[in-house]
Amino acid sequence: MPEDKINEINMDMGSGNSKIESISADKIKIDCGSGNVEIENADYNKMNIEMGS
């Protein structure tokens, strides 16, 4: 399966788990009220993660 280049990713979760693998993005923003975020094998220029707890 070919891997597409994504320019911007926004994730906003009230509560939950997010797992990202093999991502290539210029900008990624993850906002979690409460939860776990796992990012593996990432290639990004700008990254912003906000977690309430």
**Calculated CA dihedral for residues 8, 10, 11, 14, nearest 10 degrees:** 180
What is the pLDDT at residue 4?
A: 65
Residue 14 lies in a domain: yes
What is the total count of domains within the chain? 1
Domain assignment present for residue 23? The answer is: yes
Kindly report the average pLDDT of the chain as a whole number. 75
Q: Bridge partners of 16?
A: 35
Q: Is position 22 within any domain?
A: yes
Q: pLDDT value at position 3?
A: 60
Q: Residues near 31 by Cβ (< 8 Å), separated by ≥ 6?
A: 10, 11, 12, 13, 49, 50, 51
The yes-or-no verdict on residue 28 having pLDDT over 70 is yes
For residue 16, pLDDT beyond 70:
yes
Examine the pLDDT at 26 and tell me if it is beyond 80.
yes
Tell whether 37 is covered by a domain: yes
pTM (2 decimals)?
Answer: 0.50
Amino acid, single-letter form, for residue 40? E
In which domain, by residue range, is 16 found?
6-48
